[in-house]
């Protein structure tokens, strides 16, 4: 495996993608106050973050707009209310799940939208549907990524095939997504190697989206980075589903590119994140997430266990284990 | 750099060293109940842990026995009260700080002591004094390690010299100690490479003791392990000074050697660790520890900041930063 740069390198290809609203929205039903969102937007600008993901472009046919905060739907108007004409270096991203987005209705011409990047999330068997969406968004003028979810569950042949197909598509960036937080750094480096070979062959970028079930989200992110991965997802204080993500504050404290600044994030944590925790919003590394991560399972059982304030960890472990047999 | 085995390898050379009482004692003034210590001892046996460190052999001349729990001093009789004749595979360890241990008085013949291993902790400039203690303990019949603390502050030449001297000594195991939690995995792998060269040359083992300031304690431990490091320090729920250590529950869930069992640790967490947290004992990853770790500083300012329940992270960051200039 080849490395790209050392600990002192300045890598101009790096892009930090703030997913606090999007992955964090999975924790609080996307119910962020406008004050919070505006403060995060300003913080991201000051910190030198490259992309801010506002949430999902979820289908209003499939999801009741009265049952979720607005960032599950990311109406262009709602984004404009926060960012105005966004005359900054910070680009705006949304995520669109394959099969859960009315992209032909809800994703309009880039020329009339505040959005810069559409990230298409797909399981590996949905790659053809993902490519349809990516081609649509590309033609509308957006940057695109494809986020192949739960890669720890894919077999090598399927993944090789998917990467070849994506390499030949118009997608800009292909993401390694450790949805279950089950990858060890050694496995992450191996995946990075595989994805980067496709990137080299077809002129793509590679991204990484990690989960913190085993306290490895930051380690996996910087290991992937060291290999040459350049799109780095993070959330403030790890806020995200289950065990959460790579913490922005750790990532910015690591990066050597002088465009990144840690202080604004520290202020944001003090002024806005502590209150979320006080209000009882729960996320972050804990024993139940370790166990689903270790067993390479979706975190839903751990989320349920945690929400019920259960602590019978050993029984829970055996319950999860029995599901594997 | 060479790797020793893959993710599926069974490495019989691995030794897990439980430091919960010793590093955790720095958090609660060594005031563990006998019930807690007995339960931890039984848990370690059931889990297949190799060594249990009971605490320090601190000098009673220098430290007032009335001001600390008994595990700061680790009288042999106090250990015997927990372990009896310890007719198990679990070995007993204590730590002895250079310059803070009356080793000639307090460390008796191994034949009359429940202790198996004496770990000598030294800063790099104290290596000659450490060797005096190691030779003493070796002659008394104990296994020995040397734990070169705060290695992230040492310069390469000093470290090379120290490792050569230690290689030629009678010490059994030489430890990489990331006291400040400032090492990134890439740096840990480089250090492991350096230490392992000495181990190969002189027939020693190498150990790793990590701190979790940057959520890297587990990642650094398993990366060092993959390189060939074999003595692995961990504490239940990371309990240890400041940001704490590599969590035993993550380490045991990772190790493939069938002698290790996770379930007893999960039960111990449920029955004993949650109560410590409820009682207000504070440790573990938090923003202030990230900042001292990032700046390669002793955690004492972060411990103070945390104990005062302060949250002005940005000001604290600038305060720490100013100390560097």
pLDDT per position as a tens digit, A204-239:
999 999 999 999 999 999 999 999 999 999 999 999
Integer Cα distance of A119 and A231 in angstroms: 12
Which of B185, B191, B286 is the mutation pick for testing A, counting most A CBs within 10 A?
Answer: B185
Size of interface A-B (CB pairs under 8 A): 99
Q: Of chain B residues 192-251, which have a CB less than 8 A from chain A?
A: 212, 214-220, 222-223, 226, 247, 249-250
Average pLDDT, chain B: 96
For residue A262, give the nearest of B214, B219, B317 by CB distance. B317
Q: Where are the alpha helices (DSSP H) in B172-227?
A: 185-202, 217-227
B92 Cβ contact list (under 8 Å, min separation 6): B51, B52, B54, B79, B83, B86, B114, B115, B116, B117
A253 contacts B222? CB cut-off 8 A: no
Residues of A in Cβ contact (< 8 Å) with B222: 184-185
pLDDT per position as a tens digit, A90-134:
999 999 999 999 999 999 999 999 999 999 999 999 999 999 999
For residue B270, give the nearest of A216, A291, A311 by CB distance. A311
For residue B287, give the nearest of A7, A218, A266 by CB distance. A266
Integer Cα distance of B252 and B52 in angstroms: 15
Integer Cα distance of A28 and A283 in angstroms: 10
- In terms of CA atoms, which chain A residue is nearest residue B311? A270
Residues of B in Cβ contact (< 8 Å) with A216: 218-219
Confidence of residue A8 (pLDDT cuts 50, 70, 90): confident
B215 contacts A247? CB cut-off 8 A: yes
Distance from CA of B104 to the nearest CA of A (A): 42
pLDDT per position as a tens digit, B271-308:
999 999 999 999 999 999 999 999 999 999 999 999 99
b/e burial code for range A91-101 (CB count within 10 A of at least 16 → b): bbbbbbbbeeb
Give all domains of chain A, ordered by start, each with its CATH number.
15-278 (3.20.20.70), 287-324 (no CATH)
Residues of B in Cβ contact (< 8 Å) with A254: 184, 214, 294
Using the Cβ of B310 and the Cβ atoms of chain A, whether some distance falls under 8 Å is answered with no
């Amino acid at each position: 495996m080849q490395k790209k740069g050392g600990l002192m390198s300045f890598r101009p290809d790096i892009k930090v993608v703030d997913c606090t609203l999007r992955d964090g929205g999975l924790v609080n039903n996307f119910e962020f106050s406008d004050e919070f969102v505006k403060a995060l937007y300003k913080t991201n600008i000051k910190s030198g973050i490259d992309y801010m993901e506002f949430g999902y472009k979820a289908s209003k046919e499939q999801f009741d707009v009265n049952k979720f905060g607005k960032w599950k739907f990311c109406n262009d108007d709602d984004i404009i209310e926060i960012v105005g004409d966004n005359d900054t270096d910070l680009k705006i991203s949304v995520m669109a799940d394959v099969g859960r987005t009315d992209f032909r209705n809800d994703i309009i011409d880039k020329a009339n939208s505040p959005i810069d990047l559409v990230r298409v999330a797909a399981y590996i068997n949905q790659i053809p549907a993902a490519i349809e969406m990516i081609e649509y968004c590309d033609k509308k003028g957006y940057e695109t990524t494809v986020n192949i979810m739960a890669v720890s569950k894919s077999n090598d042949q399927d993944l090789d095939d998917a990467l070849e197909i994506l390499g030949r598509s118009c997608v800009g960036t292909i993401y390694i997504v450790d949805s279950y937080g089950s990858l060890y750094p050694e496995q992450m480096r191996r995946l990075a190697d595989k994805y980067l070979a496709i990137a080299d062959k077809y002129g793509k970028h590679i991204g990484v989206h990690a989960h913190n079930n085993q306290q490895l989200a930051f380690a996996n992110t910087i290991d992937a980075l060291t290999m040459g991965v350049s799109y780095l997802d993070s959330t403030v204080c790890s806020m995200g589903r289950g065990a959460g993500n790579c913490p922005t504050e750790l990532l910015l404290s690591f990066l050597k590119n002088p465009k990144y600044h840690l202080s604004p994030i520290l202020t944001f944590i003090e002024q806005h994140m502590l209150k979320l925790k006080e209000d009882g919003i729960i996320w972050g590394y804990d024993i139940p997430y370790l166990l689903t991560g270790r067993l390479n399972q979706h975190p839903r059982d751990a989320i349920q266990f945690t929400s019920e304030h259960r602590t019978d960890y050993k029984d829970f472990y055996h319950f999860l284990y029995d599901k594997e047999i």
